[in-house]
Amino acid sequence: DIVMTQSPESLAVSLGERATINCKSSQSVLKRSNNKNYLAWYQQKPGQPPKLLIYWASTRESGVPERFSGSGSGTDFTLTISSLQAEDVAVYYCQQYYSTVYTFGQGTKLEIK
């Protein structure tokens, strides 16, 4: 199975500052036939189900604020929040859907400094 490793496990950022979360896969999730990275990012707030933010590593889901962006290819990916807002406090997960066994990263808890 593909192992997804996120870093850091927790992160404290000041309001208005940039937050960066990393995700590394144990093997490439880039499919050469369509040049797409099978990587998604989710946000989960307490007591709620996860919410899709980013898919294909960099495509923002409809309705997701522009301050959220995804980048990377192959095995190394990044979720960036350009200017942290109070409502962004949450746990963030990456997930690969490249193989028939989908796997999540362990999560990154984002807090306000």
Q: How far is the CB of 31 from other proteins (least distance, A)?
A: 10
Kindly indicate which of the ranges 21-29, 44-52, 63-71, 77-85 contains the residues binding other proteins, using the contact rule CB under 8 A.
44-52
Q: Which of 61, 69, 73, 82 binds other proteins (CB under 8 A)?
A: 61
- Distance (Å, whole) CA 38 – CA 15: 31
Residue whose structure tokens are 């604020």: 65
Q: How far is the CB of 56 from other proteins (least distance, A)?
A: 7
The residues facing 80 across adjacent strands are 20, 69
Q: Are 48 and 91 in contact (CB under 8 A)?
A: no
Task: Scan residues 5-34 and list those touching other proteins (CB under 8 A).
Answer: none
Q: Which of 43, 50, 79, 88 binds other proteins (CB under 8 A)?
A: 50
89 binds other proteins (CB under 8 A): no
Query: Nearest 5 degrees, angle CA 86-CA 92-CA 96?
Result: 155
73 binds other proteins (CB under 8 A): no
- Distance (Å, whole) CA 5 – CA 96: 11
